[in-house]
Amino acid sequence: MTDEKSTLPNTVDFDHRSATFAEDPIPFYDTVLQRDSPPFSPHHEGFWVAARYADTVRIGRDPVTFSSEKDLDGTGRGPQFGGVLIPPWPVAPGVGELDGDEWVAFRRLIAPHLAPNVVEKLRPMISNYATSIMDRFIASGKADLVGEFTGPVPAIVTMEMMGLPLDNWPLWAKAMHAMLALAPGVPGFEEAFAELMRLSDNLLIGIGKRRAELADESEPSTQDMLSNFVTARIDGKPIPDEEVLAHLINVIVGGVDTTTSLTAHALLYLHRNHAAREMLRADPSKIPAACEEFLRYYSPAPAQARTLTADCTIGESAMKEGDRVLICWAASNRDPAAFPDPDEVKLDRSPNHHAAFGLGPHRCPGSHLARVEFEILLAEVLRRIPDYVIDESELQMYRDRGVANGVLSLPATFTPGAVIGKPLAL
Ligand code: HEM
């Protein structure tokens, strides 16, 4: 694909996994947004870049032409079906990397656990965790707000919602942040991947155990996600343990990293913008609208890929069956045709139809949980450590910001406060 296409007039030097991109993705987004048709990048064996809002809507909503499927060993549709990451993630496909009826079956197992009415009932649990986790450092007057707050709470909540052992949260959080913060080939990536495999092996054992525990129960007493998976039937057959594992890992990736990054970016923005911080502190009812703008502006999951199942022309770009295309949600969230003054953060922006959760059938089923977690985390900070100051000299972003736009650490100081919650045994 590369040789023939790298001579196209509409090529672009766009490598979303590079260190230059991670330093500052904005100029890359601006470059692709200036093109009338999706440009072609020769990196990673070649892919088209869809940046304009109208193009991401069109591609996101057409899963038949733009497939999410991953078939790494080529036994199905062919190895060019690399799933939703460029380059592909070398793990078995979860719900995000399936199409058609198979996707429908698994989405139906996951989505009910993340539905708005279910998530609303989780509020007290999430608030209690946020309070108890902050209790651990509030008296000291300093903390890494990512490592000690925005990381732990979503990780524990994800474990709880899924019915996984709660005391494993630090291992999963560490492995996921390391995997997503580093690009393949960068020092530390191999170790992070090996740790993820080790955790997966343990989870596989846990899946087997839960299946055995529930085998004798005609009406399962637990209704968490893991229990649902091991008791479910698809086409009358139970789901093999290895497949359950792949789907659970997909949910863990979604649940553990993105909300952490969103909240970390918001805390950094509010450190730099005191008036905005004071406005949200004085009136927390403004947090939900601000959350949407932080989602638009920082787009924690900046891009996902698709593979073409048929030829398709967008603008002047003639894409062929088997080509790969990167849907750049982060760029489309800065498209001036969809968002007036896109470079400005307007915390009361309305309307704000951002694409940060994706568009179309694969749109994020965890969006309600992410919003509620964000709201609770930010409100806790503004209520209990409102004068926090970030030490920007020690600030670290992810080394790879093409898959996850994350913050590695956010060292802060603040006026020490009182412990008010119940101690956590985790
Ligand atoms: C700020 C937080 C979040 C952001 C920005 C985000 C972003 C996204 C995006 C852009 C997609 C679409 C992928 C595609 O079209 O290929 C997606 C899918 C998904 N997300 Fe999220 N997500 C967030 C939180 C969560 C949470 C909390 C969970 C679960 C606990 C979750 C689980 C998933 C799953 C399972 C999918 C695959 C859905 C499918 O393909 O049908 N996400 N997410």
340 has which bridge partners?
none
- pLDDT level of residue 274 (50, 70, 90 thresholds): very high
The alpha carbon of 251 and the centre of ligand 1 are apart by a number of angstroms equal to: 8
Q: Which two tokens stand for residue 200?
A: 């997966």
Q: Is 304 in the pocket of ligand 1 (CB under 6 A)?
A: yes
The alpha carbon of 255 and the centre of ligand 1 are apart by a number of angstroms equal to: 8
Give the pLDDT confidence score for residue 96 in this predicted structure: 98
Q: State the average pLDDT over residues 173-180.
A: 90
Q: Does the structure show a pLDDT above 70 at 254?
A: yes
The alpha carbon of 296 and the centre of ligand 1 are apart by a number of angstroms equal to: 15
Q: Which amino acid is at 406?
A: G
- Mutational pocket test of ligand 1: of 95, 119, 226, 364, the residue with most ligand atoms within 8 Å of the beta carbon: 364
Q: Is 63 in the pocket of ligand 1 (CB under 6 A)?
A: no
The alpha carbon of 270 and the centre of ligand 1 are apart by a number of angstroms equal to: 25
Q: Does the structure show a pLDDT above 90 at 113?
A: yes
Give the pLDDT confidence score for residue 2 in this predicted structure: 47
Q: Is 68 in the pocket of ligand 1 (CB under 6 A)?
A: yes
pLDDT digits (tens, 9 = 90+) for 367-397: 999 999 999 999 999 999 999 999 999 998 9
Q: State the average pLDDT over residues 225-239.
A: 95
Q: Is 362 in the pocket of ligand 1 (CB under 6 A)?
A: yes
| Residue located nearest, by CA, to atom 40 of ligand 1 | 96
Give the pLDDT confidence score for residue 105 in this predicted structure: 97
pLDDT digits (tens, 9 = 90+) for 124-155: 999 999 999 999 999 999 999 999 999 999 99
- pLDDT level of residue 271 (50, 70, 90 thresholds): very high
Backbone angles phi, psi at 181, to 5 degrees: -75, -25
pLDDT digits (tens, 9 = 90+) for 296-320: 999 999 999 999 999 999 999 999 9
Residue whose tokens read 């109208």: 54
The alpha carbon of 301 and the centre of ligand 1 are apart by a number of angstroms equal to: 8
Which ligand 1 atom is the nearest neighbour of the CA of 107? 41
Share of the chain above pLDDT 70, in %: 98
Measured over all CA atoms, what is the biggest interatomic distance in the chain, rounded to whole angstroms? 65
DSSP 306-373: EEESS-EEETTEEE-TT-EEEEEHHHHTT-TTTSSSTTS--TT-SS----TT-SSTTS-TTHHHHHHH
Give the pLDDT confidence score for residue 3 in this predicted structure: 57
Q: Is 62 in the pocket of ligand 1 (CB under 6 A)?
A: no
Q: State the average pLDDT over residues 358-370.
A: 98
Give the pLDDT confidence score for residue 39 in this predicted structure: 98
User: Residue 384 has what DSSP assignment?
Assistant: H
Q: Does the structure show a pLDDT above 70 at 102?
A: yes
48 has which bridge partners?
40, 325
DSSP 183-243: -TTSTTHHHHHHHHHHHHHHHHHHHHHHHHHHHT-SS-S--SHHHHHHH-EETTEEPPHHH
The alpha carbon of 176 and the centre of ligand 1 are apart by a number of angstroms equal to: 14
The helix (H) or strand (E) run that includes residue 25 is none
Give the pLDDT confidence score for residue 215 in this predicted structure: 86
Q: Does the structure show a pLDDT above 90 at 426?
A: no
The alpha carbon of 117 and the centre of ligand 1 are apart by a number of angstroms equal to: 18
| Residue located nearest, by CA, to atom 32 of ligand 1 | 254
The alpha carbon of 189 and the centre of ligand 1 are apart by a number of angstroms equal to: 22
The alpha carbon of 20 and the centre of ligand 1 are apart by a number of angstroms equal to: 26
Share of the chain above pLDDT 90, in %: 89
Q: Is 84 in the pocket of ligand 1 (CB under 6 A)?
A: yes
Give the pLDDT confidence score for residue 1 in this predicted structure: 53
Q: State the average pLDDT over residues 73-77.
A: 90
The answer to whether the CB of 207 falls within 8 A of the CB of 244 is yes
- Do the bridges between strand 411-413 and strand 407-409 make them parallel or antiparallel, or are there none, so unpaired? unpaired
Q: Is 158 in the pocket of ligand 1 (CB under 6 A)?
A: yes
Q: Is 366 in the pocket of ligand 1 (CB under 6 A)?
A: yes
Give the pLDDT confidence score for residue 114 in this predicted structure: 97
Which ligand 1 atom is the nearest neighbour of the CA of 161? 30
Which ligand 1 atom is the nearest neighbour of the CA of 359? 15
Which ligand 1 atom is the nearest neighbour of the CA of 369? 27
pLDDT digits (tens, 9 = 90+) for 185-202: 888 889 999 999 999 999
Give the pLDDT confidence score for residue 359 in this predicted structure: 98
Give the pLDDT confidence score for residue 119 in this predicted structure: 97
Mean pLDDT of the chain: 95
Q: Is 359 in the pocket of ligand 1 (CB under 6 A)?
A: no
Give the pLDDT confidence score for residue 223 in this predicted structure: 85
Q: Is 358 in the pocket of ligand 1 (CB under 6 A)?
A: yes
The alpha carbon of 254 and the centre of ligand 1 are apart by a number of angstroms equal to: 5
Q: Which amino acid is at 256?
A: V
The alpha carbon of 364 and the centre of ligand 1 are apart by a number of angstroms equal to: 4
The alpha carbon of 35 and the centre of ligand 1 are apart by a number of angstroms equal to: 28
Within 10 angstroms of residue 394's Cβ, the number of other Cβ atoms is: 11
Which ligand 1 atom is the nearest neighbour of the CA of 96? 40
